[in-house]
Amino acid sequence: MHIDLNERTAVVSGSTQGIGFAIAQALAGAGAHVVVNGRSPGSTGAAAERVREAVAGARVTPVAADLATAEGAAALHEAVPEVDILVNNLGIFGSRDPLEIDDDEWRRYFEVNVLSAVRLIRTYLPGMRDRSWGRVISVASDSAVVIPAEMIHYGVTKTALLAVGRGFAKAAAGSGVTVNSVIAGPTHTGGVEDFVAELVGADRPWDEAQRQFMREHRPLSLIERLIEPSEIANLVVYLSSELASATTGGALRVDGGYVDSILP
């Protein structure tokens, strides 16, 4: 398969590190002009530089904007008025006793994980429809379908994101714009690396440590290791391409078989 995104402009929310950064790098590798986003000029500038180092000739624009706010979304829109590929990657997570999560914390999770995506879809979908081509991809999680007791607030926002994707796919019906969600499983990001070290110790090689972590703490994984961010990015690049023109309204898994279900 040959994927050429040379004529496309892509925005990846929350892409200065982790999965978002891998997606930005992979889209740039496929030729897209990529907008990397984070909250500060320092982190976005450094991420753009890292993409340029990794991908010869990459076209990357850093835009610092807090996308948990309407002002941040408006600032991004002003900086980048037209977008062909929107990747709603921004998301926060953390373990909390569910009985101790107060209303403000619930609202914060909703603002960052759900409304940030809704605002950007509202911002960019009309232009995509007018041009008869567009891709919207939101990064959900296994926690959307297997709600963890210690992360109910997170799981709920990711379930909501799946509904947002399905609903907006209907709103885009027949327009040439596809809207999908990617269900990412346990992934090897910086935060997760610290978590693994905390649970199984930092005194052994990474591969051994992560496999022990998966055996003991994520036994449902069928690949018995963490997913690399680039593996999530591969599916996002495919969904962003011409080749995925008949896939819309879907929730596609890159979870290493973690969710014990045949569908989605």
Ligand X SMILES: NC(=O)c1ccc[n+]([C@@H]2O[C@H](COP(=O)([O-])OP(=O)(O)OC[C@H]3O[C@@H](n4cnc5c(N)ncnc54)[C@H](OP(=O)(O)O)[C@@H]3O)[C@@H](O)[C@H]2O)c1
Chain positions contacting ligand X, by CB under 6 A: 14-20, 37-40, 43, 66-68, 89-91, 93, 112, 139, 141, 184, 186-187, 189-192
Q: Is 31 left (phi over 0), alpha (psi -120 to 50) or beta?
A: left
Secondary structure E strands in the chain: 9-12, 33-38, 59-64, 85-88, 134-141, 177-184, 251-254
How many Å is the Cα radius of gyration of the chain?
Answer: 18
Q: What's the min distance (Å) between Cβ of 247 and ligand X?
A: 20
Shortest distance (Å) from residue 69 CB to ligand X: 7
Measured torsion, CA atoms of residues 195, 196, 201, 204, in degrees rounded to the nearest 10: -140
Between residues 20 and 250, which has the closer beta carbon with respect to ligand X? 20
| CA separation for the pair 173, 98 (Å, rounded) | 38
Closer residue to ligand X in complex, CB, 88/178: 88
Q: Taking the alpha carbons of 198, 231, 51, 134 in that order, is the dihedral positive or negative?
A: negative
- Residue whose CB is less far from ligand X, 147 or 192: 192
Question: CA-CA distance, 225 to 207, in Å (whole number)?
Answer: 8
Contact 182, 235 (CB under 8 A): yes
- Given the complex with ligand X, which of 141 and 241 has the nearer CB atom? 141
93 touches 147 (CB < 8 A): no
Minimum CB separation from ligand X for residue 148, in Å?
A: 11
154 is catalytic: yes
- Taking the complex as a whole, the smallest distance from the CB of residue 15 to ligand X amounts, in Å, to 6
Closest to ligand X by CB, 114 or 244? 114
124, 154, 238, 258: the catalytic one is 154
Structure tokens at 56: 């010869």
Query: To the nearest whole angstrom, how small is the minimum distance from the Cβ of residue 188 to ligand X?
Result: 8
81 secondary structure, DSSP code: -
List the catalytic residues.
154
